[in-house]
Amino acid sequence: MTSLENAVLRSTKLRPRTKELYLQHVRAFLSFLNPDGEAVEVSIKQFTVDNAAAWCADMRARRIKAQSVNVALNALRFAARKAKLKFADDIATLPVRPQRKSKARIKADRPLRWEEGRRLVDACQGSEPRDLRDAAIVMLGLRTGMLRFSMCQLQFSDLAQNGADTMLTFVKKGGERHTIVLDPVTLYALTSWMDWLRNHDVTDGSIFRSLGRDRVRLRVGIAIGDKLTPDGLYRAVQLRARLAKLPDLSPHVFRKTFIAWAKKESARPAQIAAVTGHKSDAAGDDGTATPAANFLLADLSKE
């Protein structure tokens, strides 16, 4: 474990949620420095303001909001100061100003059309570990509208059987937990990935993991990380979006797309809120929420 990670973990001033968030950002920086290896392989000589600036530029190039970039830089500066690294104070010169959305970017935030969603799903086809993982992410996003940070916090223990139904519990904004019934299409994509993990001795902890080349276990040929960060999930979606010829696609579009598709299938607000967990989505509807809106959507993988 690097000195930056230790600095965050040993801090007694950070709240648990802030500590987790800072640790995610620090590990995103380490992953940027050494994308094909483990964090422990990052040399302390790489902890420079130039590399921090390059990381900042990379986040901006991927259209991460200025506010989010600044939070990431704050996390890195905090860790660097606690670790007594010389480049800590220089990071203060890096924060970026928020920019107004251009008309093109606003247009890019629109919900995906059904045909575009199919292309995104098709871009994840394959039997390689990353294909299985990214297919699960994309299908879960499109068919539930789940937010990126919620996906990254999913645990094996969050999936449970209730009679014939498979339930998935996730963390919403604000820390409240919400439970949904998974539709068969989403369940198949998610369990295909989880079965691969189980076959490689991963049976608990985070569902979505980072994947890198394994330099030790050559028989397996791939290193399975502890947890996929929101930044890592963003990159995975961006890769599949480029393959689907959907440039500048953000995981944020999943929520808008799910709601738009559900409404097209005549889902009432309560049926949508039963999946998203957002009370605002149920505004004006005090009726029953069955079936949940995800069960109204057709199978994206079929004609």
Is residue 78 within 8 A of residue 23, CB to CB? The reply is no
CATH 1.10.150 range(s) for the chain read 3-93
* Cβ neighbours of 260 (radius 10 Å): 16
CA–CA dist 178, 168 (Å, integer): 8
The whole-model pTM stands at 0.66
CA–CA dist 73, 80 (Å, integer):
10
The CA R_g of the chain, rounded to the nearest whole Å, is 20
| Cα dihedral: 100, 144, 32, 10 (round 10) | 100
Q: Tell me if 36 sits within 8 A of 50, measured CB to CB.
A: no
Q: Which of 28, 58, 62 lies closest to 249 in space, CA to CA?
A: 62
Tokens 């097209």, located at residue: 264
CATH 1.10.443.10 range(s) for the chain read 109-296
CATH number 1.20.140 is the correct assignment for the domain at 3-93: no
pLDDT per position in the chain (303 positions), as tens? 788 999 899 998 888 889 999 999 999 999 888 876 655 556 777 888 888 888 988 888 888 888 888 899 999 999 999 988 877 877 877 777 765 554 444 355 689 999 999 999 999 999 999 999 999 999 999 999 999 999 999 999 999 999 999 999 999 988 899 999 999 999 999 999 999 999 999 999 999 999 875 444 444 467 898 889 999 999 999 999 999 999 878 898 999 999 999 999 999 999 999 999 988 887 777 777 789 999 999 987 665
Buried b or exposed e, range 170-194, using 16+ CB within 10 angstroms: bbeeeeeebebbbbebbbebbebbb
Q: How far is the C-alpha of 133 from the C-alpha of 209, rounded, in Å?
A: 8
Domain spanning 109-296, CATH class: mainly alpha
Q: Please, are residues 59 and 97 in contact by the beta-carbon 8 Å criterion? A: no
- Asked if residues 283 and 269 have their Cβ atoms less than 8 Å apart, the reply is yes
> Nearest-CA neighbor of 63 among 235, 183, 271?
235
Cβ–Cβ < 8 Å for 185, 138: no
Rounded Cα gap, residues 68 and 65, in angstroms = 5
Give the sign of the dihedral formed by CA 191, CA 195, CA 198, CA 200: negative
